[in-house]
C-alpha cells in the first residue's frame, strides 16, 4: 500500500500561517496518519525589533504580536516591567488587569469553538465562510445543524459584546492600551462596573446555555474523538491571574501533569529551554533558557523546517492550554483528546466568567490603579502567565535604560513546535500520529486534531521572508 504524503498549506481557520505535512498509510488495515510535521512558515522577529527601545513601550509593542491575544501580551509585558522596575501596583490594578484579561479568554474561547472548529464537524450553508470546504465526514442532521448554525451566528454577536465589555476598562479592544508598568490606566466608576456586569451576565448565559450544550452535542455525535489526538498527555501550566496583592494565590494554578496521570507536580522554571536543531535559527542558540535565549535566524538550514523554536521542559514535550490548566486545577480530568480539549475549553470559559463577576465586587470604585515606577538604568525581569492558548512568558534585560534583550515564548510555540534536538515530535505532531483518515484527498480528521489545539501562528511567528 502506498504512503500518501499530504501537505495542508495553509491550514485555515486559525490565526497566522501553519503548514501541516502528514504521511498517511495503512496500519493493521486502517488508514491513518503515520508521520506529521508542523511548519511555521513565517518569521516573527519581535525580539529583534524590541532591542534598544524604551522598556515602557513593551506592552504596546508586544501586544501587536497578535490580534487574538494582544491583551495577554500587554498583561505579560506589564508584569515583566513591574518585576524589572521593582514596582508593586495597587491592588485595584490587579483586579482591572484580570477583568480585561478575562474578557480576552471569553472572546477567544467563543471564537475558537464556533468560528474555527465547528465547520470541521458541521456542513453549514453552501456559501462563504462555510464554502469552499471539505464536505466529508459530516454527520449532523438538518435540525441539529440549524441550531448549531444559529449558535455560530449568535457567537459572532456575543464576541462583539465581549470586546465592548473589555473596552470599558481596557480603553479599546483588541489592542488595549490600559496595561502599563506600575498598574493600569483606568479608574473604575460605578456606572462602568454596572455596564461591565450587564454584558458579563449576558455572555455567561450564552456560555452556559448555548456554547456548553452545543459542545456537548458535537462531542456526543463524534465520540470517537475522545480517543483521537492524545499525544504525549504531558500538560503544563505556568499559572495565572493573581487573586491577592502578593500573588500567592492564583486563579489558575502552576503545575504539570505527566503522561495524563495523577495530580499536578511542581514546575521548576529553570527547566524550560528552547531547542532550535530543526528550526531556522543558528545552532549556537540551541537549548537556551529564554532569559538568555537568542533570535538569530538561519535560512535555509539543512535540518530546519519551521520558524518555531521547540520549547521543552527538562527535555520533555509538554502541551499547554485550557486542558492543561483545567487538569492542573483538578477541574477536568476526563482524558486527553480532541474532544477533551473542546470540553475543557468551554468549562474554563464558564469558570472565568463566574470569577469575573466576583472580581467586579472587589473593585474599589474611584480607587487608584497606578503607581509611577522609576525606570532603572539596568535590570532584568520576567512575566509568566496563561494566555487563552496556554503558558506565556516574556523575559527582559535592560541596559542603559533601554531594552538590551527581550524574549517571548508563546503557547503555540509549545504546541506546534517542530522536532527537538532528541528528535521528539512536538505536541501537535505527536497528537496527529495515529489519526484515522477515511479519505486521503480530503483528510478532515487532520484538521480536527489541529484545531483542537487552537494554534495561533501569529503568536508563534510573524514576518514573511521577502521571497
Query: Per CB under 6 A, does 74 bind ligand NFE?
Result: no
Does an H or E element contain 216, and which?
Answer: helix 212-221
Residue from 411, 425, 426, 427 binding ligand NFE (CB under 6 A): 411
DSSP code for 116: I
Residue from 18, 39, 42, 68 binding ligand NFE (CB under 6 A): 68
Q: Where are the beta strands (DSSP E) in 163-271?
A: 179-180, 183-184, 235-237, 240-242, 250-252, 255-258, 261-265
CA distance 413 to 407: 12
Q: With respect to ligand NFE, which residue has the nearer C-beta, 71 or 273? A: 71
Q: Which residues contact 247 (CB under 8 A, 6 or more apart)?
A: none
Q: With respect to ligand NFE, which residue has the nearer C-beta, 102 or 443? A: 102
In sequence order, the β-bridge partners of residue 429 are none
Sign of the dihedral through C-alpha 139, 141, 144, 148: positive
Query: Per CB under 6 A, does 456 bind ligand NFE?
Result: yes
Minimum CB separation from ligand NFE for residue 176, in Å?
A: 15
Query: Per CB under 6 A, does 36 bind ligand NFE?
Result: no
Residue from 69, 339, 433, 449 binding ligand NFE (CB under 6 A): 69
Q: With respect to ligand NFE, which residue has the nearer C-beta, 99 or 111? A: 111
Q: With respect to ligand NFE, which residue has the nearer C-beta, 15 or 120? A: 15
Residue from 14, 15, 165, 310 binding ligand NFE (CB under 6 A): 15
Query: Per CB under 6 A, does 66 bind ligand NFE?
Result: yes
Query: Per CB under 6 A, does 459 bind ligand NFE?
Result: yes
Task: For cell 486545577, name the residue.
Answer: 329
Minimum CB separation from ligand NFE for residue 75, in Å?
A: 10
Instruction: Give, in order, the Cα–Cα distances in Å from 251 to each of 16, 17, 248.
Output: 29, 32, 10
* 153-212: contacts with ligand NFE (CB under 6 A): none
Q: With respect to ligand NFE, which residue has the nearer C-beta, 178 or 459? A: 459
Task: For cell 505532531, name the residue.
Answer: 429
* 377-406: contacts with ligand NFE (CB under 6 A): 387-389, 392
- Alpha helices (H) along 235-376: 322-328, 338-362
For residue 50, which of 404, 383, 421, 358 has the smallest C-alpha distance?
A: 404
Q: Report how many residues bind ligand NFE under the rule CB under 6 A.
A: 15
Contacts with ligand NFE by CB under 6 A lie at: 15, 66, 68-69, 72, 387-389, 392, 410-412, 456, 458-459
Amino acid at each position: 500500500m502506498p504512503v500518501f504524503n499530504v501537505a495542508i498549506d495553509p491550514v485555515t481557520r486559525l490565526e497566522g500561517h501553519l503548514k501541516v505535512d502528514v504521511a498517511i498509510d495503512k496500519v493493521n488495515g486502517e488508514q491513518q496518519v503515520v508521520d506529521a510535521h508542523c511548519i511555521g512558515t513565517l518569521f516573527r522577529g519581535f525580539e529583534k525589533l524590541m532591542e534598544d527601545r524604551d522598556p515602557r513601550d513593551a506592552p504596546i509593542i508586544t501586544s501587536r504580536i497578535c490580534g487574538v491575544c494582544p491583551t495577554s501580551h500587554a498583561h505579560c509585558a506589564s508584569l515583566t516591567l513591574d518585576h524589572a522596575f521593582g514596582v508593586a501596583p495597587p491592588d485595584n490594578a490587579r483586579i482591572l488587569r484580570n477583568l480585561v484579561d478575562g474578557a480576552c479568554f471569553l472572546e477567544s474561547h467563543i471564537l475558537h469553538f464556533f468560528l474555527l472548529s465547528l465547520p470541521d464537524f458541521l456542513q453549514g450553508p453552501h456559501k462563504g465562510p462555510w464554502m469552499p470546504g471539505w464536505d466529508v465526514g459530516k454527520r449532523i442532521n438538518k435540525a441539529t445543524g440549524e441550531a448549531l448554525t444559529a449558535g455560530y451566528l449568535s457567537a459572532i454577536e456575543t464576541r462583539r459584546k465581549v470586546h465592548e465589555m473589555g473596552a470599558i476598562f481596557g480603553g479599546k479592544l483588541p489592542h488595549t492600551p490600559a496595561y502599563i508598568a506600575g498598574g493600569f490606566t483606568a479608574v473604575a466608576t460605578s456606572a462602568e462596573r454596572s455596564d461591565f456586569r450587564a454584558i458579563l451576565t449576558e455572555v455567561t448565559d450564552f456560555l452556559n446555555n448555548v456554547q456548553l450544550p452545543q459542545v456537548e452535542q458535537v462531542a456526543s455525535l463524534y465520540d470517537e474523538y475522545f480517543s483521537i489526538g492524545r499525544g504525549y498527555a504531558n500538560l503544563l501550566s505556568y499559572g495565572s491571574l493573581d487573586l491577592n496583592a502578593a500573588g500567592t494565590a492564583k486563579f489558575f494554578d502552576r503545575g504539570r501533569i505527566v503522561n495524563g496521570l495523577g495530580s499536578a507536580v511542581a514546575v521548576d522554571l529553570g527547566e524550560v529551554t528552547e531547542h532550535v536543531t530543526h528550526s531556522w535559527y543558528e545552532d549556537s542558540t540551541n537549548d537556551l533558557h529564554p532569559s538568555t535565549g537568542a533570535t538569530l535566524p538561519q535560512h535555509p538550514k539543512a535540518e530546519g523546517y519551521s520558524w518555531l523554536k521547540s520549547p521543552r521542559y527538562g527535555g520533555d514535550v509538554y502541551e499547554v492550554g485550557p486542558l492543561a490548566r483545567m487538569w492542573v486545577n483538578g477541574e477536568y480530568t476526563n482524558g486527553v483528546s480532541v474532544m477533551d480539549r473542546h470540553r475543557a475549553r468551554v468549562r474554563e470559559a464558564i469558570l472565568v466568567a463566574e470569577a469575573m463577576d466576583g472580581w467586579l465586587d472587589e473593585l474599589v470604585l474611584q480607587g487608584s490603579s497606578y503607581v509611577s515606577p522609576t525606570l532603572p538604568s539596568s535590570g532584568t525581569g520576567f512575566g509568566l502567565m496563561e494566555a487563552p492558548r496556554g503558558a506565556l512568558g516574556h523575559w527582559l534585560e535592560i541596559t542603559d535604560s533601554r531594552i538590551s534583550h527581550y524574549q517571548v515564548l508563546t503557547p503555540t510555540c509549545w504546541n506546534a513546535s517542530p522536532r527537538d534536538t532528541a528528535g521528539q515530535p512536538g505536541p501537535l505532531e505527536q497528537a496527529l500520529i495515529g489519526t484515522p483518515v477515511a479519505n486521503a484527498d480530503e483528510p478532515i480528521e487532520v484538521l480536527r486534531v489541529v484545531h483542537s489545539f487552537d494554534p495561533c501562528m501569529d503568536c508563534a511567528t510573524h514576518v514573511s521572508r521577502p521571497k
